[in-house]
Chain A
Amino acid sequence: MATGIRDKVAVIGMGCSRFGERWDCGPEELMVEAYLEAIKDAGIEPTQLDAAWFSTHIDEIGTGKGGTPLSIALRLPNIAVTRVENFCASGSEAFRGAVYAVAAGAADIALAVGVEKLKDTGYGGLPVGTMGTYIPQTAPNGSAPGNFAQLASAYRAKHKVSREDLKRAIAHVSVKSHANGSKNPKAHLRNIVTEEQVIGAPMIAEPLGLFDCCGVSDGAAAAIVTTPEIARALGKKDLVYVKALQLSVSNGMESQHNSWDGSYFHTARIAARKAYHEAGIDRPREQVSMIEVHDCFSVTELVTMEDLFISPEGQGWKDVMDGFYDSDGSVPCQIDGGLKCFGHPIGASGLRMLYEMYLQLQGRAGDRQLANPTIGLTHNLGGAPASNVCSVAIIGL
């Protein structure tokens, strides 16, 4: 029986570029921006890095394939660089690789960097991609919002929620994230919006309007991890430990078997259960201080509150409306603005979520600092509701 990752690895440095439409930067400059902050925060020299994990999702634009783009951009000392890709959970995947290398004793100090340069496409939204040679012959010509929007019709049908109630609940999700993002100098979108603005915005994919969709952003984030012993030897105090790292991947059940009802993420529930077990958490609604979830779309965040077992099933929309997840609520969610407003450079997002949890745990989150958080959870999801990868990570003091 695996003993799990709990308290075996500590985070000693993190960095994150400013997210947004970074017309001034290519992916290389974004990675450098995040890396320089992380290595300064860790207080180590590049020669102390033993291995690196590099996440980026889209091949057609950005850095291209392989580990070389990271090694060349950062001028790493010819160490191992492994490029990982796992949809929008790629950043969490890079972190997982680095953490596991340290836990395995294969590396004393490891680096994880995620980047995405999305604004080189010439149009809004995500680049149009293909998935092999079979899927394009049958799957609809859809989009990310169209895929995730489908949660809404199934959630309404299952929980007997009216179109209007659900639209208002998901609007509140976005209003809250904009309020949080307005306090984050690195966030892509820093404007405050009202529920009326969100509800009245142009439709993107029914029922998701413009403000129900996250920012399409350029950005990079980085983490440096080591063993608690080495961290202390480096003079680090109040260590931030990795408590759990879980990943669950769809096996086709949701998209091919009638047992899934379309209203939730099967993988998220599995990953959450395993992560709580690994971290020794049995009452998440009380024990988790704060969460950064994969709010690619407002409706995703809403159902995720239930998939993480923080809101009871079918009640998530009411908790949202009651302010349970607001910055002054019981479990603040997206305190940095989330994907919605911090932005969503795909390969960087998982690491960006951890960056905010890390800052909060260390009391370094500035205007948006929460009072005495001890456990932060990040949830990173890639693909579509019917076929996805879901990562749940927990870090804490």
Chain B
Amino acid sequence: MIGITAYGAYVPRLRLQKKAMAQANAWLAPNLMGKAKGERSFGNWDEDAITFAVEAARDALGNDDDRSHIKALYFASTTAPFADRLNAGIVQAALTLDATIQAADISGSQKAGLTALAQALCVAQAAPNGAHPAILVAAGDRRVPKAVSAQEFDYGDGGAAMVVGRDQILAEWLGGAASTVDFVDHFRGSDEDFDYHWEERWIRDEGFQKIVPPVLKRALANAGLEPAHIDHFILPSTFKGVAEGLAKKIGLKPEAVVDNLAAQVGETGCAHGLLMLAGVLEKAHPGQTILVAQFGQGCEALVFKVTDEIATFKPAKGLSGWLANRKEETSYMKYLVFNGLVEWDKGMRAEKDNKTALTTLYRYNDGILGLVGGKCKVTGTVQYPRTRISVAPNAPEVDTQEPYKFAERAARILTYSADYLTYSMNPPNHYGQIDFDGGGRIFMDIADVEPGEIDSGTEVRMAFRVKEWDDRRGFTRYFWKAVPVR
């Protein structure tokens, strides 16, 4: 038996109120007032497709930082920061997955997340008898449409992750189907910042209505199920009623249609099918069946049956937990700034050259991307970073440091400041000395925090974030930051 063995989700904390968005633009685009309901998620300035995927993967993998069971990683996104540098390699390093794994980026379509999941299932199935393949699929998207567009209301930011394998299966893979059709509902050229969209009615009538149903039918046939057997039907679409219409068309129960989170999150690109699936798994009962599909130059569809094991697993926070971890934001301007949609005066302090020495990055790769420090095998002293001579006062042992992972450990603020002087995309810049339970201390940024919210002693968790951008060279630098536990 092959199937899903763990699932996770991530939705960034900021939720832009669509009413505020619409009102800010009513003078320019009064037609958008019709979309002024609910909220959409948007990432802090230091979050991107990779950080979303990393958070979702951590949600699935839990706080056990021994991840040696993961044998392969597929990262899906259409908004990954690098066109030629393995984005999955950054996810691998952040999660401290073994270097021996196979990792790949899967991209190019909104269905890439489900395609990645289908690939992972096939690879797991092909593993030799007796093997214990565990394959991580992590998806994240931060789609930035043009300002004052309908998509700005429809899209959201987030990530999702699944682990597939043979052991302790939560949802058995019954089958699936796919199609590839060069139907261009929208596209984004290689050198372009924004998508270009065709007419909604055509996409709905010629695209969804004609391309999706045969794939769903084949997937059901492949799984040996009748449409009426399906308990949960997942089909992301930003067009109202599309999933409901297709359900009716192929004979699915109307109540099987899963809410697409349009009023809470928005559509999170190629992560969205997986995100909705993570939400369904959180609530599903043993024996229930799930049909999950996503559209994009064809369609990908997969069928699962929930097992008795479902009750034994809980994601670290889960979609419900992330949905509850929200901060209402009414500043459309903040959304624009965080997404690079306005040329604002950052001041001369922002002119600092953020060129990254790639040699240095590689030399300390596990420390920088994996937050791996050291533990002295003689004194037990834990420290960051790992050094040849240990920091223990009056007991400087030499070459006794063994790798020690910090990312999943509980931590507290020792000292902090809220700095209004330094350049920041979200002033004041909070940072401080962070002390970890079990020992160790790291001087780091504190993210997702409001002035007056923290003090010495505040409990924090680690979050993988963008450290800085090197705009001159197009490089994104990542590191970990402390985020208040909520």
List residues of chain A with CB under 8 Å of any chain B CB: 121-123, 125, 128, 130, 133-134, 136-143, 145-147, 149-154, 156-157, 202-206, 208, 251-253, 255-259, 261-262, 385-386
Contact = CB atoms under 8 A, between A and B. Distances in A.
B418 A206 contact: yes
Interface in B175-215: none
16 contacts: A128-B351, A137-B360, A137-B361, A137-B364, A137-B479, A139-B443, A150-B417, A150-B433, A151-B415, A153-B415, A156-B456, A206-B451, A256-B441, A257-B383, A258-B439, A386-B443
Contact of A141 (B353, B384, B415, B445): B445
Contacts of A134: 357, 360, 364
A153 B349 contact: no
Given A157-B455, A205-B418, A140 B445 contact: yes
A142 B431 contact: yes
B445 A258 contact: no
Contacts of B467: 137-138
Given A133-B360, A151-B415, A255 B441 contact: yes
Contacts of A157: 455-457
A154 B348 contact: no
A141 B477 contact: no
Given A137-B368, A151-B415, A153-B415, A205 B421 contact: yes
Nearest to A385: B415
A213 to B, nearest CB: 9
Contacts of A147: 417
A386 to B, nearest CB: 6
Contacts of B359: 133
| B interface, size bucket | 35 or more
* Closest 6 pairs (CB-CB, A-B): A146-B419, A140-B431, A150-B415, A133-B357, A149-B417, A157-B456
A378 to B, nearest CB: 26
B465 to A, nearest CB: 11
Between A140, A153, A257, A262, the greatest number of chain B beta carbons within 10 A of the residue's beta carbon is seen for A140
B429 A142 contact: yes
Interface string B343-378: 000011101111011011100100110000000000
Nearest to A130: B352
Contacts of A208: 417
A99 to B, nearest CB: 30
B455 A153 contact: yes
Given A138-B385, A208-B417, A255-B433, 16 more contacts: A128-B352, A134-B360, A145-B417, A150-B417, A152-B417, A153-B417, A153-B456, A157-B457, A205-B417, A251-B391, A257-B393, A258-B439, A259-B393, A261-B414, A262-B415, A386-B433
Contact of A136 (B354, B439, B457): B354
B422 interface: yes
A141 B424 contact: yes
Nearest to B436: A258
B245 interface: no
Given A138-B444, A205-B428, A143 B415 contact: no
B419 to A, nearest CB: 3
B370 to A, nearest CB: 12
Interface in B14-53: none
